[in-house]
Amino acid sequence: MQHRFIATSIPYMNAGPHMGHAMEFIIADILARYNRSSGNDVFFLTGADEHGSKIYNKAKELGKSTQEMLDEHVALFQELGTALATTPDDFIRTTDRVRHWPTAQAIWRKLEAKGDIYKKKYSGLYCEGCEVFLPEKDLDNEGNCPIHHKKPTLLEEENYFFSLSKYEDQLKKLITNDTIRITPEFRKNEILSFLGEGLNDISFSRSADKMPWGIPVPGDETQVMYVWCDALTNYLSGIGYSFDQNKFTKYYPTYLHVIGKDISRFHAIIYMAMLLSADMETSKNILVHGFVTSGGEKMSKSLGNVVIPEDIMKTYGSDALRYFITVGGGGVGDDIDYTPTGFHNHYNSGLVNGLGNIANRTSTLFCKYYPNGSDTDGFILDEGIDGVIISAYTLYKESLEAFDLRAGYVAVSTLIDLANKYFDEEKPWTIKDDPGKLRDILLNLVEILYHINILVAPYLPRTAEKMREIFSLTDSRLQDFSLDAGFRLTAGNKIMRLTTIPLLFEKIS
């Protein structure tokens, strides 16, 4: 058993959740569930980034207190996580003065003691939408922020700075040799290319009169911490850095960060440099995902193409959205393009006609012929089926250890396709006059269905719970969905009993 700390980035609380947040929650939850079913001790963290001028100004615009607005937004994100059946062990808020503030301030002091924080006057182009200072080379041809399409504001302040440039060579080495493993490879290459251009020291605080909503800088309350030492230290406060040393020792360093491509530099460069400055071990893995686009365009209110996760789930259910995020794109880290037709086709072909079809056909036919159960005496699982099950587990584990969720689901699909093909070829409904052959065919199908149930559980947890009812089991590995390529349900139960259940997925026209 390994102790594995998995964390999403923490969404910025200036608005409610969108499809990109749903995507990140789903990816992280699948990997957390997979690790638990593999026998690992997992701590899965998400949370909320709640400080900054944009949040403060938005609350004033709405006529609400900043905390009141934040509480409303946080509730929306937590509701989305629940609707998606995600399983975080904790939700850390950067406004948490008991757990997070002491952590952020303790890390500041460590960096300061190292000589890596200093004060200077600074003039720079500040994008309030990004909450970052942007170098001119990162602006578009019209001098706008490439994300928010607005000109940044020229600000001149005296701030504290972090000596990021000091860690440039060390970061290059750690990322090149995969001590910090960035997935996919092309994102790793982007980070190395950025490092190759040279790092500049970064502003680490803002004047409290310009950004009053933040964590005070230790020893200087005229300044508040900028996003880096504030929000990025959530990965430390979330596992007890300042208040539970046993938990922190158990789960640190971070096994996996799941983050969006737009913030990969912040995590792979700034946060890793902060850890090095604090003489702490860097994170092991950074998984960089793409965006959910809409009809080939980035989702935007101005374009009218924003897709609301809750609207999809009202029609199709949460597992359908989890399935689409898994199989709807290309390679690891690529964007996933949503269209109503594309989503609908994935749902019908993969879930209704694939998984739902074989679960229904197998359980219905078995219960028809064996309403009181069937003995398994003398049954030997078909050798070819046995081999495919073993191969599926191998592909599944290799894929998910590499964070390739799509390839992992291919392993599940291999068993779904095998079962549907075997059912169609053997035609068990036509051989009721040969009870021995009929029993063996149905037991082969039951064994495949059992392993489909095990492997699909991290991806489609609510569907897996429904499927589990088919087997009417109380003493099998199915109880905790533990992965075991060598376990055979038909070998471990003298009497096999199944139960019919409602359709897993209703066909939607």
Of the candidates 3, 120, 173, 298, the residue annotated as catalytic is: 298
Kindly report the three-state secondary structure assignment for every residue of 192-229. Answer: HHHHHCCCCCEECEEECCCCCCCCEECCEEEEEECHHH
Active site residue 3: no
Active site residue 229: no
Active site residue 314: no
Q: Compute how many other C-beta atoms are within 10 angstroms of the C-beta atom of residue 434.
A: 12
What is the rounded CA–CA span in Å between residue 65 and residue 395? 51
For tokens 């940044």, name the residue: 152
For every residue of 72-132, DSSP letters joined together read: HHHHHHHHHHHHTT---SEEEETT-TTTHHHHHHHHHHHHHHTT-EEEEEEEEEEETTTTE
- Of 472, 465, 468, residue with least CA distance to 497: 472
Active site residue 148: yes
Which whole-number Å values give the CA distances from 395 to 13, 156, 363, in the listed order?
Answer: 38, 55, 27
Active site residue 110: no
286 touches 255 (CB < 8 A): no
For tokens 């390994």, name the residue: 2
Active site residue 58: no
Of the candidates 100, 127, 257, 267, the residue annotated as catalytic is: 127
Which whole-number Å values give the CA distances from 474 to 370, 471, 478, in the listed order?
Answer: 19, 9, 8
Q: Across-strand partners of 153? A: 126
Of the candidates 51, 100, 145, 267, the residue annotated as catalytic is: 145
Active site residue 145: yes
b/e map 8-37, b = 16+ CB within 10 Å: bbbbbbbebbbbbbbbbbbbbbbbbbbbbb
3-state secondary structure of 157: strand
Active site residue 127: yes
Q: Which amino acids are annotated catalytic?
A: 18, 21, 127, 130, 145, 148, 298, 301
